[in-house]
Structures are given as structure tokens and as C-alpha cells.
């Protein structure tokens, strides 16, 4: 029988593959997978904020929408969402509202993570959501660092061009 840690790593690797797709499309590399209680993947998604020109197109939101459509219900009770980065306040609220029972994320987000505003937006006493952190965190961090390093390099090159004009 497969233990929880093995399946958590398996599904997080799949979420990381989604994040890699985002990276290839010049999106912030965040991926998400929604899995039902039997381990069946209901949806996969990655950030599409730039492509859709929408601040709502986070991987978590897109994965939840797809999963809800697939099962024909907005309630995703007994489902788990695997995300490569700690969800922001908006995504955490949607995870909670969709009744997802477990959140597993790779790395923490010191800038936008839900824990920063936890007291304001997320009533942990009301929610039954179980949270597991730091599953393949190093892999997620590497993707994010590569993305932002590339972004900084492009910005620096643009500034040089502007100065030389």
C-alpha cells in the first residue's frame, strides 16, 4: 500500500510539471492539481494571469474551476489540492469556500502567502481544512528563482537600452 508521503510527492511532482508549463509561457511558475479521495486527478492547471490578462487566473482558481465543472458541483469535499506555492489570500478563500478538505503546498510565500493575512481572511476555527507544507519545497523554489532571475535580467537589459537611447 502506498503511504501518504509517497502520494503527496507524486501529486506535487505533477503540480511542478504544471508550474514548468507556466514558466515556458513566461507566467509565474505555479501549478495546481485537484485530486479526489480515491486519488483520481480531477484537474490540472497553472498560472495564466498574463495570457488571460486577469488577476484571477491563478493556478488554484483555474484548477478548482475545472474540478468543479468535472464533478458537476462547486463543493469539492474530500478533495485535496496540491499547489507549488503557498496560496495567496484570494486563493485560500476559494479553497476554503469550495470545501476542499486538504491543502498540500510546496514552498511558503513570504510576500503573498495566506498566513500573512490569516487573521484577517481565514478563520481557522471555522474551517476544517487540513494543511500540509514543504512537500518538494526546494524544487518549487528553484523554479521561482529561475523565473524571477530571468525577469530581473530582462528589466536590466531594457533599462540599458533606454539609457543608451
Q: Of 156, 100, 153, 152, which Cα lies nearest the Cα of 131?
A: 100
- What CATH number is given to the structural domain containing 141? 3.40.140.10
All three cell numbers of 26: 513566461
Q: Which stretches of the chain are assigned E, i.e. beta strand?
A: 31-35, 41-46, 80-85, 102-107, 130-132
Q: For residue 146, what are the contacts with CB-CB under 8 A and spacing of at least 6?
A: 23, 29
Express each pLDDT in 89-140 by its tens digit.
899 989 999 999 999 999 987 766 666 555 445 555 456 889 999 999 999 9
All three cell numbers of 22: 507556466
User: How far, in Å, CA of 134 to CA of 125, rounded?
Assistant: 23
Q: How far apart are the first and last CA of the chain?
A: 65
Domain containing residue 77 = 4-164
Contact 28, 151 (CB under 8 A): no
Confidence of residue 149 (pLDDT cuts 50, 70, 90): confident
Express each pLDDT in 46-85 by its tens digit.
999 999 999 999 999 999 999 999 999 999 999 999 999 9
Determine if residue 136 is left, alpha or beta; phi over 0 gives left, psi from -120 to 50 gives alpha, anything else beta: left
Tally of domains in the chain: 1
Confidence of residue 30 (pLDDT cuts 50, 70, 90): very high
Contact 79, 103 (CB under 8 A): no
Q: Is 27 an active-site residue?
A: no
Residue of 27, 60, 65, 86 with catalytic role:
60
Amino acid at each position: 500500500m502506498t503511504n501518504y508521503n509517497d502520494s503527496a510527492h507524486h501529486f506535487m511532482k505533477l503540480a511542478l510539471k504544471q508550474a514548468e508549463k507556466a514558466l515556458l509561457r513566461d507566467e509565474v511558475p505555479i501549478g495546481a492539481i485537484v485530486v479526489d479521495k480515491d486519488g483520481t486527478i480531477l484537474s490540472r492547471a497553472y498560472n495564466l494571469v498574463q495570457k488571460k490578462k486577469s488577476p484571477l487566473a491563478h493556478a488554484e482558481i483555474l484548477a478548482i474551476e475545472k474540478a468543479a465543472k468535472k464533478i458537476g458541483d462547486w463543493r469539492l469535499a474530500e478533495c485535496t489540492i496540491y499547489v507549488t506555492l503557498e496560496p495567496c489570500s484570494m486563493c485560500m478563500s476559494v479553497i476554503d469556500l469550495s470545501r476542499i478538505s486538504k491543502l498540500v503546498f510546496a514552498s511558503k510565500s513570504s510576500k503573498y502567502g495566506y498566513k500573512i493575512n490569516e487573521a484577517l481572511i481565514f478563520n481557522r476555527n471555522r474551517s476544517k481544512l487540513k494543511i500540509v507544507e514543504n512537500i518538494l519545497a526546494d524544487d518549487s523554489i528553484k523554479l521561482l528563482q529561475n523565473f524571477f532571475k530571468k525577469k530581473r535580467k530582462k528589466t536590466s537589459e531594457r533599462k540599458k537600452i533606454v539609457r543608451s537611447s
